């Protein structure tokens, strides 16, 4: 379990792009389950779409990537510093199964598949009320910046 204060220590993201509110479970090297509470107050709802607010798919993938980063950091037993960034390296098989609307709670389930040549690969899905909203395989990498 990880609350928002611990998440803020590990992820460099801040409002409005921090998309993980709480970690419910984490098994080093295996899996993580986290939450993103979707509120009507999210800034993207002003334009996506004013007549029918829907969370952008790319932000659902970003939420999954942030959960994946937390799993990677826990697995490696590292706390990233200001010179470490965690980037997308690829997204395969992304499928959007249902819209995510204000009031929904995204349950972010990410499983570690492998790490090769510094690239982490994860199987990820986000669910709302037990229904898959999005699923994808994510590839991510950590880099040092100057």
Residues identified as active-site: 48
Residues 6+ apart with CB under 8 A from 10: 2, 69, 70, 73, 79, 80
Strands 22-27 and 31-37: antiparallel
Burial of residue 58 (CB within 10 Å: 0-12, 13-18, 19+) is exposed
Beta-strand relationship, 131-144 and 119-128: antiparallel
Question: Is residue 36 a contact partner of residue 87, using CB atoms and an 8 Å limit?
Answer: no
**How many whole angstroms separate alpha carbon 94 and alpha carbon 122?**
12
């Amino acid at each position: 379990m990880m609350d928002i204060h611990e998440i803020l220590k590990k992820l460099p993201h801040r409002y409005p792009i921090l998309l993980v509110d709480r970690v419910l479970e984490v098994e080093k090297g295996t899996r993580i389950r986290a939450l993103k509470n979707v509120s009507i107050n999210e800034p993207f709802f002003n334009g996506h779409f004013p007549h029918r607010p829907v969370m952008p798919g790319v932000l659902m993938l970003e939420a999954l990537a942030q959960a994946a980063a937390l799993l990677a950091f826990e697995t490696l037993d590292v706390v990233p510093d200001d010179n470490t960034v965690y980037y997308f390296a690829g997204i395969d098989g992304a499928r959007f199964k249902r819209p995510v609307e204000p009031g929904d709670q995204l349950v972010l389930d990410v499983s570690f598949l492998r790490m090769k040549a510094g690239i982490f690969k994860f199987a990820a899905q986000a669910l709302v009320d037990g229904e898959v909203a999005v699923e994808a395989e994510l590839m991510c990498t950590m880099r040092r910046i100057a």
